[in-house]
Chains A and B, each alone.
Chain A
Amino acid sequence: MENLHIGDLTIEVAPAAPDGVISCTWRGKSNERNPPEILKPWFEKLLAAVSEQQGSLEMHFEKIEHFNSSTITALIRLIQLCRKSGVKLVMVYDQTLKWQRLSFDALRVFEKNDDLFHLRFA
């Protein structure tokens, strides 16, 4: 799976770990006008690759400087896409940054008992 480079945003994809976890590290800024439009097709390819390997996904946000509210919509779509595909998703954030703590803690409304979506701080 190739990294994503779009505008000021890079998402680096690491090779699958022995336990099947594929880690993606977000860097820079997600400030495009319509991030879901750009991210959705990339997420779909990524999920296809993860499913093929019967792995799970970790999205790391500790290094990202900023994302706009439209990016949060894209993250909600990713949570839904993973759940629909039966792929486990973990979002990892930096709780020492207030904006990350607020943004990601709010996404706990999407945690369910199905073990398919979790939030974790680094």
Chain B
Amino acid sequence: MATSGDFGFSIDMTVRNEWRNVDLLRTSVQNCFTAVFADVDGCHAIAMVTGELLENALKYGDWTRGDRAMFRLRVHGTRENDVEVSVQNPVGESDGNANLLLQSIEEINSFAKPEQAYRARLLQIAQSEDSAPSRLGLVRIAFEGNCRLSATLADGTVTVRAVLASTST
């Protein structure tokens, strides 16, 4: 539910860890935001960010545990018209995915511009083996979504946040 300090929208829900839910939620978010914002490109960006974060959670999360409450999507607006998309998912203590994710975000944020990080990743992919995971999703969020990324690790879950700068109404 929206609070008085928010711009006026808030989505907060648990998600079943099924791949088809990525597109169901991505398109739902896109449709919801098209009802709020006139900026079609901005709505597509919010939806893309939602989809990429959910895909990452499903690919690299630890789904051996059955607690549904640990997989959560939140999308909310701020008074400055910024939109924050966050996805929380369980992570394995020893599989290294969580640390790799934190390192990836740190690396992306170290570039002066997300476009530079994105192009560098494209070139890395071209030089990698076919079977290697592309890990392009996060840097796509930063570049195409024009987002600032951050992540926190706590109590066996990781939460990745992407903040999109001002979306015009």
- Chain A contacts to B: CB under 8 angstroms: 8, 29, 31, 33, 36, 40, 66, 68-70, 72-73, 76-77, 79-80, 97-99, 102-103, 106-107, 109-110
Contact B41 A70 (CB under 8 A): no
Cβ–Cβ < 8 Å partners of A103 in chain B:
144
Interface majority SS (helix, strand, loop, mixed), chain A:
helix
Cβ–Cβ < 8 Å partners of B118 in chain A:
106
Q: How many residues of B contact A (CB 8 A)?
A: 28
A61 to B122, CA, bound (A): 19
Closest 10 CB pairs of A and B: A98-B41, A73-B134, A69-B136, A69-B137, A69-B140, A102-B144, A31-B23, A99-B44, A109-B119, A33-B19
Query: Is B84 among interface residues, defined by CB-CB distance under 8 A?
Result: no
- Which of B48-56, B95-103, B159-167 lies on the face that meets chain A? B48-56
Partner of A72, one of B44, B51, B140: B140
Partner of B125, one of A68, A73, A97: A73
Contact A76 B126 (CB under 8 A): yes
Of the A-B pairs whose beta carbons lie under 8 Å apart in the complex, a sample of 17, sorted by A's number, is A8-B23, A31-B26, A31-B51, A33-B19, A36-B130, A40-B130, A66-B44, A68-B52, A69-B52, A69-B55, A69-B134, A70-B55, A72-B136, A72-B140, A73-B136, A98-B41, A110-B126
